[in-house]
Structure 1
Amino acid sequence: MRKHFTTVSALLFAVAALAQQHPDTTRAKAGPPAIAPVIPKPGPKPYKDIITDKAITQKGLFTVHKVDDKFYFEIPENLLGSEILAVTRLVKVPGGARKYGGEEINQQSLTFEKGPNNNIFIRVVTLISSADSTNVISKAVKNSYLDPIAAAFDIKSLGKDSSGYVIDVTDFFKGDNQIVGLDPNDKRQFGLTGLMPDRSYIQSINTYPINTEIRTVKTFGAMAPSPTGMPSPFPTPSLPAARNAGVITIELNTSMILLPKVPMHRRLFDSRVGFFADDFTVYSDDQQKVDNQTFAVRWRLEPKPEDMEKYKRGELVEPAKQIVYYIDPATPKQWRPYLIAGINDWQKAFEKAGFKNAIVGKEWPENDTTMSLEDARYSVIRYFASDIENAYGPQVHDPRSGEILESHIGWYHNVMKLVHDWYMVQAAAVDPKARKMKFDDELMGQLIRFVSSHEVGHTLGLRHNMGSSSKTPVENLRNKAWVEANGHTASIMDYARFNYVAQPEDNISEAGLFPRIGDYDKWAIEWGYRYTGEGDVEKDKRINNKWIVNRLGANPRLWFGGESYNTDPRAQMEDLGDNSVKASEYGIKNLKRVIAGLPEWTKEEADRYENLSDMYMQVVGQFSRYTGHVLKNVGGVYETFKSIEQPGDVYEATPKAIQKTAVAYLNKEVFETPNWLFDKNILNKIASPVANERVQTIQVNALNGLLDGARLYRMVVAGNRYGVANTYGIDEMIDDVKKGVWSELSSHKPIDAYRRNLQKAYADKLISLLNPNVITAITGLTSSGVQITTTETKNTDVTSVARGQLKALQAEINAAIPGTGDRMSKYHLQDVSERIKRALDPKQ
């Protein structure tokens, strides 16, 4: 109460005092209020005042000083403006994050520059366009592509010899900075809020001649996942730490690597050889159009100067710098030799480019404390304790040239389950060693070896070549001598896992069952790594074009078929051979053998049929793959990239005979009820009959895929371009499908439950074509992503044919109903007839 009274009293006193003051009109008006003097910002202090006798100093890319709890970078003058690649990786992560120690989470190109007020800036370099400084247009490029200033530091002192600048980087690396930390997408995924400064710190900073390594520990507030069944605007992994503590702690390592002063010579990307690519726009004064330059991503592999003449004579020489991959010491010891073998398998490919011992795998030197697994100078196969069934092969490259600087391959422990299941389903019919739930170490090791080779191929710059397997005739896959000598696909970069075409009587060994580095892989490495010494990208391009024209003309197995994003049925995942119908027929023969063996092969003591359930679903999945392989032929378009020196067209419709054969296969193997998959000895042990089996879903999906509006429209356009006599028309195709799906209309046989469901789906799909939505489809792949097209089919022949087919089907159903004796079949036909009637005349 006293406090309130005192406040009121003081207020009354102030008012009274003001009332007693009278304005002095005799004095001139007062001027503007005085401005407080600006206190000048303190400038750099003497070196010894900042870097005291307590400093622990390391020399390297930056000279790093630690003084008490502060970290300082001493940046030499000659480093300003040089491009530095900052690569941030996870070191340790909370459980449930679905990310793992060793994975990259951020990458930025940076430069340090002197600011105007005794400060140093960090700019993030966004390479969009470039121009040589000798060109006048380079001024316009500089004016149009300004890089952002991402951080600023006061200059604490000049360098010891006054040729550099000392800055305090403590708060920068301790703090939440996007350029050397988590990006916003990761934060949303983890459900992070703010950084907790009191629980975040720099663990260590170490510096080396071309790189500086910063390891930090950062703690963030974190939102616990929504309770089960509750919607969340941002789907997040299940992080027990967030639920238990409300925070999560992450350890990070940022590698700051000095990029080469002179970038590697670029090799322009060519769509006929499957390399990853980067790009930017090049401007010059003498252009008449802009040069959008796309170039291959590859390692810098060059002969030593003293070996250059030997190299030119065709002798194998060792490169000036060998490509080395290390094995994470967290890798179980029994698998290390196989991972190393998968790396070393690429040596024979590099010999085609003129280099011996170009690549090697090594165990990590665990006693060498100067090396760090997160150091971006080293390429490592990182081993993750994860249930994810996968592995992946990324790379870090110089955005100016495409030069690969290092790679951390991600290897999930549970990839072994993936390769086990693949091999049992695809090879157990011919290889007795595949007929158990735990393979011998030698077999599993060889499976690991092939995956290692595949992922290393990605880190050498190679993309998937899903078309490679199509260059092997199907019958050669059963020819023991041929397939064991040449392999079942010409590329390990294809998704052609194992030779599922081989039959037991062919007696084919693992040499003819396993994928391996093949003809295409050797050619791709030769194209990407053959050293020309030519610095002009256009001259280098002309040399490479001649290589491609000559080599592909001599050996069709060197074809790059793309990554299966287009409509070319020759480029598909998980398929084999040049004829998907024949290959799938052989595959189904083997699947029937596997189904019969599963109850015995999956037995393990105390197993409650989990093994049987899992492997049965793998068999069904393989059957689904065969269905997809065949389906893609219908309405397919061959895409064969060529230069003007090569004969023939780039785009051709899939031959009509192949498309008709594909529909015949689907009618027989898919739309006719595949009773061999409904083995009650298996189903009654693994699944309650409360929902449709997955096989029904496969049937309906295949039917919907055949009658898909985008596919039908593509077939219409193909007929317009190539002539209806040379292509498979949609009316003819739907007639062929109808004969298979609705065969009971003429045979008057009872229609089983699976067929009834399928026939209803057929009618519903045609009905949906009467009022189609805009169709979005992936029609190709560019260096920067997939190419998307949209199609409106409402005013095309697709709608007209759908209406005509529905009228014809309704008439056939109505004619068949009186002769149908089976009651459920009759109810079904009456139902479908009524659906069609309402669709054709909605007003009724």
Structure 2
Amino acid sequence: MILTKKLLKLSFTALFLFLCNVNGFTQIPKKLPVQPKKLPLHKGKITSKKSVTDTVKKKTDSTSKKEEKSYAELVKKATTIKGLFKVHQVENDYYFEIPLNLMEKDFLVVNKISSVPLALNESGVNKGMNFDNRVIRFSRNKAAKTVWVKVIVPQVESPAGDAITRSVKDNFTGSVIESFKIEAYSPDSSAVVVKMNKVFDGTEKSFNDVFNDMGLGATPKTSLSAIEKIKSFPQNIVVRALMSTRVMDAGISVPISITVTTNILLLPEKPMKPRFADNRVGFFSTPRWYFSDAQHKLETRELVTRWRMEPKPEDRARYLKGELVEPVKPIIFYIDPATPPKWRKEIIAGVYDWQKAFEQAGFKNAIQAREVTDTTDYDGDDVRYSEITYAASPKSNAMGPAVVDPRSGEILESDVIWWHNVMTSVQYWMRVQTGIIDPEVRNNDVSDQRMGHAIRFVSSHEIGHTLGLKHNMSSSASFPVDSLRSPAFTNRMGGTASSIMDYARFNYVAQPEDKVTNITPQIGIYDKYAIAWGYRWLPAEDPHQELPILKEWIKVHANDPLYHYGEQQQAKNIVDPRAQSEDLGDDAVKASRYGLANLKRLIPQILTWSAPEGDNYYQAGKLYLAAIWQWQTYAEHVTANIGGYYLENPVSGDGKDAYAPVPVKIQKGALGYFKDQVFTMPEWLFNKELLKKTFPIKDTPIGPMEYAPLNLRREYQYGLLYSLLGEDRLLRMLEMEVQFGKENVFTVGELFQDIRPVIFAKTLKGKTLSITDRMLQQNYVDVLLVSTDKMLEKITKKSLFQTSLNNLPQTCDLGLNQEETDLNHAMENNINPSANLRNIYVTAMTRTSEVAAAKRGELLQILTLLENNKNRGDEATKGHYMDLILRIRQSLQTK
């Protein structure tokens, strides 16, 4: 696990910026053939324009004699390839011949990982990930005889004729990041020749600072770093280089070599017409500012990230009449030749599943997937081609980042990263969630047919991200729980939710007697609607002109839950219980009870399913832990209702409220489930026959960890209690009390009054406590003590900063490891999780809030209760009471 600990300790932002497509952006060639027999790589010349600039036209012979001689000497022993720029290789030196007519044009630099050592592979860094993409411009400095490179942030726009445009140009200039000496001019003086080695071989970090972008804080060793090859095509240059360094890990110097492929891509002269985002439809977006003389204030917009999908000019009249037409340029994904052949069909099917969504937008044959039939010249790192990259890695995940032109939001290229081990997660989902109703997924090795079907849905989900779609975590709540038990409903609606962009895995609600067979997520009503909203072509030239039409499309379905978009939230701080990960149906309590019924049936079968004769019990232990995680997940789904708000993004006239507290009846029902399942964890979950053969087992970097069952009970119960009494939840309940009135909400006081008599029921009756009774009371008191101490740290410890477990970034793991903070899906979505996930900020000045008073008040109530009963029960019970009394007194500093 070399460097695993180091990478896990990286700042969230550093690793996020490395793996995420921060500034967006790449391009596929406009003339890519629709059905090539083999994948072509263009190697032809760029056709020269008939005229260069006037300056070059009028250049006198006397200015270039020496330079022409220099050019002739430079290329004499060079190997030259032609394309966007001519590239001259002289031994280990590489020269770009940059045409002057491409000076001041917008280029996109896209850096991609092409190979990694085991140390980084194990940490989830793999081939295909792009990082630190940026827009640049080349600029000739004649006086200094250099070419400068400026980085541009194309976020600002203003009308060419407006006076303010002069100010825009002065206040949003590019920054110079590199300078190259002009080595020579081309014979006709239409291009300059510069030596480019230093920005690719690790000498300079202006184009590529991979080790710092990863958070390793290292500098390439130039003696161990080098350019491996360069290719030049009509629209882009591809440079592959090996970067090497050493990193200290636990006192050991570890060698690290990464291959990075840098693409320099010429962006379209005319950017795609953007579409303005609306937070009622879940698309990723890129910011845009509009300045003009007529404004009263700056106009800020978000541009939808989407592919350029346009009907051919000759088809536009038919398109506008409602006929299906083919787009000018379809979206094409190539399947990595490293993909195991038996999974290619299902991965391809997951791509084509989106065709029905594009048909709703008016396009046929809009999205395609192809295998690479000739790998001779194939290069998956060439940004003209989108690839589903297969990564041999122990990581259990998948991601779909896109490369975006920030000037317009146009998706130019995308690479789905498919980790081989994602099948491990898929297998456990199927076995735990549907093994009771589907005999074919019960064994350690499920059938290829079932695995292929699951791979197809994961492929569809990731392709949805590459099309610009965010997670829609509320789509599962659009289905009534009991409808998920209906074969007719699930066949008609398709699977488990109205959108495949939810994390609505497999149908754990259906019971064996229901005979439901359509149990896998599929592209649904919301997905087709969202693609139509984002991709339907409109003839307006100005995106502002589209706004009334786009709003009307939303208005038509505004009150239909099947079309509702629920923004993703922080996993440890769910505000809207309808928009959760891994849940099903519109009633968390009912859905979870159905899930528990299936889990109760599953636990006794684990040995039969996972330990055939002659095998050890390792797989049984892993399946057992997965089942316990599923139990925990149900409890979390239910708990989110307590102190929850229903969140909307209303507009004037739609009659919706932005914030509505979850009804009191639902909150109290959720607490009732919590009492049943968490205060007294079910004995069937800790099956004695199963525990004779194996404890729950979790794989770790240092080997399998076997969880002792009592310790596991304590750990899971404590975590759920801590969540139930978390600051954010209680602060939201206080907000509701003030805003809606005490009589209309579930209050913090009522919560404690409902909890205490249950936790101390035997104490109040003077009974002896079992070890699990004592554990519950210890956990409850400790949660109150720890959370109170955290709130009061600024008073008692004079600490300037405070970390809250509730403010961790969103965990979006495709795998079953709920204990890791997984960045991958946040990264695939090109979002900063901590900044953009939906939340309600309530945690300012918590040390002065009613929460501190409520928790201390509860501790005083418990102290009195314990004092009155400290001499009742057996010796273990009495010792337990004294321990709690001493802890509370010490914390509250009472005598």
Q: Given the superposition, is the C-alpha separation of residues 117 and 835 from structure 1 closer, same or farther in structure 2, using an over 3 Å criterion? A: closer
Deviates more, 1:585-594 or 1:703-712: 703-712
**Alpha-carbon distance in 1 for matches of 2:428, 2:287:** 39
Q: Given the superposition, is the C-alpha separation of residues 475 and 843 from structure 1 closer, same or farther in structure 2, using an over 3 Å criterion? A: closer
Q: Is the 8 A contact 2:202 2:222 kept in 1?
A: no
Structure 1 residue 187: Cα displacement: 5.9
Higher relative contact order (CA 8 A, sep 6+): 2
Number of the residue aligned with 2:280: 272
**Alpha-carbon distance in 2 for matches of 1:315, 1:96:** 53
* Correspondence 1:229-628 to 2 at 5 A: 243=254, 247-367=255-375, 369=377, 371-486=378-493, 487-509=495-517, 511=518, 513-553=519-559, 555-565=560-570, 567-604=575-612, 606-628=614-636
Q: Is the 8 A contact 1:769 1:798 kept in 2?
A: no
Whether 1:763 aligns to 2:781 is yes
Whether 1:126 aligns to 2:153 is yes
Q: Given the superposition, is the C-alpha separation of residues 708 and 689 from structure 1 closer, same or farther in structure 2, using an over 3 Å criterion? A: closer
What secondary structure sits across from 1:501 in the alignment? Answer: coil
Deviates more, 1:777-786 or 1:444-453: 777-786
- One-letter amino acid matched to 2:756: K
Number of the residue aligned with 1:103: 129
**Alpha-carbon distance in 2 for matches of 1:201, 1:764:** 57
What secondary structure sits across from 1:396 in the alignment? Answer: strand
Q: Is the 8 A contact 1:745 1:816 kept in 2?
A: yes
Structure 1 residue 779: Cα displacement: 11
Number of the residue aligned with 2:761: 743
- How does the TM-score come out when normalised to structure 2? 0.83
Q: Is the 8 A contact 1:59 1:208 kept in 2?
A: yes
| Unaligned residue ranges in structure 2 (runs of 5+) | 1-62, 696-705, 793-801, 811-830
Deviates more, 1:82-91 or 1:683-692: 683-692
- One-letter amino acid matched to 2:185: L
**Alpha-carbon distance in 1 for matches of 2:64, 2:209:** 33
**Alpha-carbon distance in 2 for matches of 1:269, 1:497:** 28
Q: Given the superposition, is the C-alpha separation of residues 768 and 435 from structure 1 closer, same or farther in structure 2, using an over 3 Å criterion? A: closer
- One-letter amino acid matched to 1:443: R
Whether 1:59 aligns to 2:82 is yes
1:113 is matched with which residue: 130, 139, 152? 139
Structure 1 residue 68: Cα displacement: 4.2
Whether 1:799 aligns to 2:825 is no
What secondary structure sits across from 1:214 in the alignment? Answer: strand
Higher CA-based Rg: 1
**Alpha-carbon distance in 1 for matches of 2:212, 2:231:** 29
Q: Given the superposition, is the C-alpha separation of residues 151 and 367 from structure 1 closer, same or farther in structure 2, using an over 3 Å criterion? A: same
Q: Given the superposition, is the C-alpha separation of residues 526 and 689 from structure 1 closer, same or farther in structure 2, using an over 3 Å criterion? A: closer
Q: Given the superposition, is the C-alpha separation of residues 226 and 746 from structure 1 closer, same or farther in structure 2, using an over 3 Å criterion? A: closer
Q: Is the 8 A contact 1:193 1:223 kept in 2?
A: no
Deviates more, 1:108-117 or 1:437-446: 108-117
**Alpha-carbon distance in 2 for matches of 1:59, 1:752:** 81
Q: Is the 8 A contact 1:50 1:157 kept in 2?
A: no
What secondary structure sits across from 1:335 in the alignment? Answer: helix
**Alpha-carbon distance in 2 for matches of 1:835, 1:541:** 61
Number of the residue aligned with 1:87: 110
Q: Given the superposition, is the C-alpha separation of residues 603 and 46 from structure 1 closer, same or farther in structure 2, using an over 3 Å criterion? A: same
1:809 is matched with which residue: 856, 859, 862? 862
Q: Given the superposition, is the C-alpha separation of residues 152 and 50 from structure 1 closer, same or farther in structure 2, using an over 3 Å criterion? A: farther
2:725 is matched with which residue: 707, 717, 725? 707
Q: Given the superposition, is the C-alpha separation of residues 157 and 614 from structure 1 closer, same or farther in structure 2, using an over 3 Å criterion? A: same
Whether 1:695 aligns to 2:721 is no
Q: Is the 8 A contact 2:441 2:447 kept in 1?
A: no
Number of the residue aligned with 1:825: 877
Number of the residue aligned with 2:55: none
Structure 1 residue 470: Cα displacement: 0.7
**Alpha-carbon distance in 2 for matches of 1:188, 1:650:** 39
Whether 1:180 aligns to 2:207 is yes
Number of the residue aligned with 1:27: none
Q: Is the 8 A contact 1:350 1:522 kept in 2?
A: yes
Structure 1 residue 767: Cα displacement: 4.0
Q: Given the superposition, is the C-alpha separation of residues 56 and 146 from structure 1 closer, same or farther in structure 2, using an over 3 Å criterion? A: same
2:652 is matched with which residue: 631, 644, 648? 644
**Alpha-carbon distance in 1 for matches of 2:668, 2:842:** 26
Q: Is the 8 A contact 1:775 1:791 kept in 2?
A: no
Q: Is the 8 A contact 2:475 2:499 kept in 1?
A: yes
Q: Is the 8 A contact 1:393 1:409 kept in 2?
A: yes
| Unaligned residue ranges in structure 1 (runs of 5+) | 1-39, 229-241
- Per-residue CA deviations over 1:334-387 (Å, capped at 9, x if unaligned) read 000000000000000111101111001111232452x31110010001011101
Whether 1:153 aligns to 2:180 is yes
**Alpha-carbon distance in 2 for matches of 1:605, 1:196:** 57
What secondary structure sits across from 2:847 in the alignment? Answer: coil
Aligned-residue sequence identity (percent) comes to 37
Number of the residue aligned with 1:785: 836
Structure 1 residue 226: Cα displacement: 1.9
Q: Is the 8 A contact 1:534 1:540 kept in 2?
A: yes
Number of the residue aligned with 2:229: 204
Structure 1 residue 768: Cα displacement: 4.8
Structure 1 residue 141: Cα displacement: 2.3
What secondary structure sits across from 1:223 in the alignment? Answer: strand
Q: Is the 8 A contact 2:487 2:515 kept in 1?
A: yes
Deviates more, 1:337-346 or 1:51-60: 51-60
What secondary structure sits across from 2:503 in the alignment? Answer: coil
Number of the residue aligned with 1:7: none
RMSD: 2.5
Q: Is the 8 A contact 1:343 1:453 kept in 2?
A: yes
Q: Is the 8 A contact 1:775 1:792 kept in 2?
A: no
Q: Is the 8 A contact 1:58 1:207 kept in 2?
A: yes
- Per-residue CA deviations over 1:300-335 (Å, capped at 9, x if unaligned) read 100011100010000011111000001100011000
- One-letter amino acid matched to 1:221: T
- Per-residue CA deviations over 1:629-673 (Å, capped at 9, x if unaligned) read 111111001111121131121111111111000001000111113
**Alpha-carbon distance in 1 for matches of 2:594, 2:624:** 19
**Alpha-carbon distance in 1 for matches of 2:652, 2:457:** 37
Structure 1 residue 55: Cα displacement: 3.7
Q: Is the 8 A contact 2:68 2:187 kept in 1?
A: no
- One-letter amino acid matched to 1:196: T
**Alpha-carbon distance in 1 for matches of 2:260, 2:543:** 38
Q: Is the 8 A contact 2:231 2:238 kept in 1?
A: yes
- How does the TM-score come out when normalised to structure 1? 0.88
Q: Is the 8 A contact 1:87 1:180 kept in 2?
A: no
Q: Given the superposition, is the C-alpha separation of residues 386 and 780 from structure 1 closer, same or farther in structure 2, using an over 3 Å criterion? A: closer
Deviates more, 1:683-692 or 1:121-130: 683-692
Number of the residue aligned with 1:729: 747
Number of the residue aligned with 2:54: none
- Per-residue CA deviations over 1:662-688 (Å, capped at 9, x if unaligned) read 001000111113211111222233247
Deviates more, 1:728-737 or 1:42-51: 42-51
Q: Is the 8 A contact 2:155 2:406 kept in 1?
A: no
- One-letter amino acid matched to 2:714: Q
**Alpha-carbon distance in 1 for matches of 2:748, 2:868:** 24
Deviates more, 1:805-814 or 1:425-434: 805-814
